[in-house]
Structure 1
């Protein structure tokens, strides 16, 4: 019976740690999304060219692994903003391509609204139900390689409807990643808010681009 206060104390400490990670994650996520949005707007207004797929991959993974290495220090915050700022920079030219369409502005606003609704709904679901979504880790791993193979096929071959299928796949993949990462935070699987922020940011970024591409394809006159 005397062990009960200690068990209760450990539970309270765990809950406090979880709440702290959750608060820090969403605070940093809001800041990085805002910063990324400002960089994207600046890149869009400056009409900068897209860096290309190769430079985008090198920049993203280089900054990602740098952030992983620095995640436990103050420098990790700086590299997080560098990473999200770079992704915002790559977004600017993409937005310009859609803005060149007659309904481009409507497509962007619709994709943004849908992304906010999906992210808010999925996050709220996990936070309110507190369901453990660890079972999604296998789906996410398999989904990554399936999407990688599909993108390679789309690059090598002209397959009708493949791009739409890839975008739809990324919507499901990103949604699953949001559920899984949020669950990891509240169940103690993720205690580093820098890594949690990057995971959620990348999911939101991919979700937005995928929805934008789907809307663009469906709204095309071709």
Structure 2
């Protein structure tokens, strides 16, 4: 009986975290989309790789430091809004290409389909995907360094390969984070939201890159 009670409490707690995560995620995605739209409409310049990294990791530090306080939610919106701003010039670039609108909409639809499909699988199956954590962390670190190398040394083939790998890694992250919430491993909805948002963001930009390359061919 005690085991059943503990399980019920765990399920209730996980459901609350999941509900709060999806609610905050939907709000941050909408806020980021607005920021991206304004950035694209005003043709604001991309801040550059250095400012982007400093802004991202600086705000990430503030979110993590305030993860258990209401201020953490404020910094989550600041971070996702900043990422939306950096996305605006990227979207403008692809919209200026032949079939640009189709590329952006296909990437958006693909991102939504992948996220909903993988999330539904993790929720319904309740399989333990947390074993993927170490592999995903190493994979993201390697992809991050390879991505920087592709930018600084202007290696298009490497950049394309990194985008393909990131699509797989972010798909794995969606499975991992959702499973972690369902199984009670992640109890902070602020950090869960940020993890899923970053996965969706990187998934979308990587699909954009791949589709844009295919369009040029």
Give me the TM-score of the superposition, normalised by structure 2.
0.96
RMSD in angstroms over aligned alpha carbons? 1.2
2: CA distance between counterparts of 1:61 and 1:69?
A: 12
Structure-2 residue corresponding to 1:141: 137
Residue 43 of structure 2: SS of its match in structure 1?
coil
The runs of 5 or more residues in structure 1 that have no matched partner are: none
Cα 1:96–1:120 change in 2 (3 A) is: same
**Preserved CA contact (<8 Å) 2:150 2:156:** no
- What's the CA shift for 1:164? 1.3
2: CA distance between counterparts of 1:197 and 1:93?
A: 24
**Aligned positions of 1:136-175 closer than 5 A:** 136-159=132-155, 161-175=157-171
Is the counterpart of residue 40 in structure 1 residue 36 in structure 2? yes
Structure-1 residue corresponding to 2:84: 88
Give me the TM-score of the superposition, normalised by structure 1.
0.94
- What's the CA shift for 1:7? 2.5
2: CA distance between counterparts of 1:97 and 1:146?
A: 27
Aligned residue pairs total 217
- What's the CA shift for 1:20? 0.1
**Preserved CA contact (<8 Å) 2:126 2:179:** yes
Is the counterpart of residue 179 in structure 1 residue 169 in structure 2? no
Structure-2 residue corresponding to 1:20: 16
2: CA distance between counterparts of 1:212 and 1:188?
A: 34
2: CA distance between counterparts of 1:190 and 1:17?
A: 10
Q: Over alpha carbons, which structure has the higher Rg? A: 1
**1:119-172 Cα shifts (integer Å, max 9, x gaps):** 001000100000000111121122022213322432354545222111001101
1: CA distance between counterparts of 2:48 and 2:155?
A: 22
Cα 1:160–1:24 change in 2 (3 A) is: closer
- What's the CA shift for 1:94? 0.6
Correspondent of 2:107 among 101, 107, 111: 111
